[in-house]
Amino acid sequence: MAASRFRQWMGIFLGVILATMTLAGCSLRQPIARVPQLVLATPAGPATFNYPLNTSFYSVFGFIYEGLLQTNGVTLELEPGLAESWEISPDKKRIVFTLRENLRWSDGQPLTADDVVFSFRDVYLNPKIPSGIQDILRVGQSRAFPEVRALNQRQVEFRIPEPFAPFLRFVGGIAILPAHILRPGIETLDAKGNPRFLSMWGIDTPVQQIVGNGPYVMERFTPGQRVVFRRNPYYWQKDEQGEPLPYIKRIIWQIIESTDTQLLRFMSQELDAVEVTPEAFQLLKKEAKRRNFTVYNAGPETLSTFIAFNLNRAQNAQGVPLVDPVKSRWFNNRNFRQAVAYGINRERMKNTIFRGLGVLQNSPIHPASPYYYSGVKVYEYNPQKARELLKAAGFSWDEQGRLRDDRGNVVRFTLLTNIERRIRPAMAAQIKQDLARLGMQVDIQTMSFNPYVEKLNKTRDWECYLGGFGGGGVDPHSGFNIWYSQGSLHTFNQGPLPGQPPLKNWSPSSWELKIDELMIRGSQEMDEEKRKAIYAEFQQVVQEELPFIYLVNNLDLEAIRNRVKGIEFSALSGAFWNLPHLQLQD
């Protein structure tokens, strides 16, 4: 789906997760109220209303929360948000933010420096709150957290032990939470001694109880169907004439799993935007003028699409290996991973499944980023090279052409993917075909997005998965929780995480520790050219070791009705990054 201003929020997690926040079509325009409304869609509904605990790409937080700063989706420059200004000390170790006057929460209560301190000190930096945000707030080699305190009602001071290049961008982008609502959940414990906060604001919480500071508040949530947002009457932004923003008073975010259904509803004018899938591109281009919409193209998506093998050699609390030890030996063999990379015909995938509307991906960093390095190792389709690598690793083929390891085991594994992005099952089917030519048997397992994420990040009982991380943003450090060996999104070799059952005998590999060192050095280096050199080396290590085997990225295409005015579509921010300033003109 199309990227949006909310992609910037998900970039804080990477990848979270997994997305890119996608905004795209929706459902019937129902007579909820006689006000102009924007109808958008999501392939999966929210998994939680608790921002720090979210691990899903599809969430409401970009609508209902803001941070101290904002990122301009076109220039990528930092701009004032809840903070009207900020001051950095000459030694780069002290930052003071000054909040705007008269900020309010959506329930009308004052938003002050106390809320900022609470959000960071009591929630994000709380060791009892398992949040991926902690990964990107640890500073340098010491991995120390910043210190934060209120100077007065409008000023907040952050202190860090050493200069930290991405600090301003990341601290500025993290949501500020309402202390007057959530503090009791931090201060009171449940029967297990955990903060009650961990069970607060699930999706069963009445939406009227969810308090935010963003342009919208939730008005209604029907699981599996839709989320309805209305304009936050206490939102701080106003236009040049002093009129309150956002201009659009209501948004309906329809939960529509099928991209085919989204397309049908867009063509019947029930939706205001829809992701342009490769199979729908020609139809939409042909119908754009007649049906009064525009197809936007921002170049390659920020979503990185890949397959990854489970490299985790650990055992669960019962002593059972997370991965079958036979298969673990294959997956942890670099020759095996490189052979798989050479064995997948990405060019055919681009031309057939993506219908030419994609680009081959060869790096974890988006080509639009100033840190992108084009000199990495590239895996063009070469089945002969793949066979040579497999032979060198001790594999051979039996009389039926089946690939066997050096102990006679037939190579067979399961490829997991999610069904919301229609293109993924088609990609999985081609991968199965391509690897069958190398004698590998690949079984495909598909499931809905939230159970899919649960399997990857919590139960960890998977062998290989097809997925993606998105919204990485400008700075490579935004992916720290993916690449750091103890990061919360280090899916290919996920270590122990707070609040989860313990693991036995988990350990990172030497090249993972090398990536740790490069990511930390990159965050410490203030000279931009030196930072680029560090991240170039990082990209080289990634492409040599292949924890992720990158495939093809969609072009970021979105069809948006011309009634939506003010769209500034961009490669790293999508179509709706400036949502408060968009207007509807029927």
Tell me, what's the pLDDT at 20?
29
229's CB contacts (< 8 A; 6+ apart) are 60, 63, 64, 216, 217, 218, 219, 250, 251, 252, 253
pLDDT tens column, 537-549: 999 999 999 999 9
Q: Beta strands 273-275 and 155-159: pairing type? A: unpaired
pTM of the predicted model as reported, rounded to 2 decimal places = 0.76
Q: What is the DSSP string of 82-132?
A: SEEEEEE-TTS-EEEEEEPTT-B-TTS-B--HHHHHIIIIIIIT-TTS--T
pLDDT digits (tens, 9 = 90+) for 268-284: 999 999 999 888 999 99
**Regarding predicted confidence, which is higher, 538 or 58?**
538
What tokens appear for 244 in the block? 């309150």
Position 472 scores a pLDDT of 57
Same-fold call for 2-66+187-301+555-584 versus 69-185 = no
- Give the bridge partners for 384, in sequence order: none
Higher pLDDT pick, 473 / 416? 416
**Identity of residue 364:** P
Q: What is the pLDDT of residue 34?
A: 55
Token output for 409: 């085991």
Of residues 210 and 367, which shows the higher confidence score?
Answer: 210
Contacts of residue 363, Cβ cutoff 8 Å, sequence gap at least 6:
372, 373, 374, 376, 539, 542, 543, 550
What residue ranges do the domains of the chain occupy?
Answer: 2-66+187-301+555-584, 69-185, 304-333+407-554
For 46, left (φ over 0), alpha (ψ -120 to 50), or beta? beta
User: Would you mind telling me the total number of residues written for the chain in this entry?
Assistant: 586
Quote the CA–CA distance of 85 and 369 in Å, as a whole number: 26
Q: Residue 182 above 80 pLDDT?
A: yes
Domain 304-333+407-554: top CATH class? alpha beta
* Four-way CATH pick for 69-185: 3.40.630.30, 3.30.1540.10, 3.90.76.10, 3.10.20.740: 3.90.76.10
Tell me how far apart the alpha carbons of residues 366 and 21 are, in angstroms, rounded to a whole number. 16
Query: Quick one: average pLDDT of 110-135?
Result: 93
Answer whether 128's CB lies under 8 Å from 66's CB. no
* Strand ranges (E), 141-287: 147-150, 155-159, 216-222, 226-231, 250-255, 273-275
For the domain with range 2-66+187-301+555-584, which CATH number is right: 3.30.2290.10, 3.40.30.10, 3.40.190.10, 3.90.226.10?
3.40.190.10
Average pLDDT, the chain: 90
Comparing C-alpha atoms, which of 25, 12, 124, 26 is closest to residue 57?
12
- Which residue is it, tokens 């729908």? 280
pLDDT value of position 35: 67
Residue 468 tokens, joined: 């993606």
Q: What is the pLDDT of residues 503-539, one digit of tens each?
A: 999 999 999 999 999 999 998 898 999 999 999 999 9
Q: Is the pLDDT of residue 24 over 60?
A: no
Cβ within 8 Å of residue 223, ≥6 positions away = 45, 203
* Position 571 pLDDT exceeds 80: no
Q: Which helix (H) or strand (E) holds 309?
A: strand 304-309
Q: How confident is the model at residue 27 (pLDDT cuts 50, 70, 90)?
A: very low
- Which position has the higher pLDDT, 310 or 456? 310
Q: pLDDT band at 302, cuts 50/70/90?
A: confident
Q: Are the CB atoms for 534 and 543 separated by under 8 Å?
A: no
Characterise 456 by phi-psi region: left (phi > 0), alpha (psi -120 to 50), beta (else): alpha
The two structure tokens encoding residue 484: 């750091």
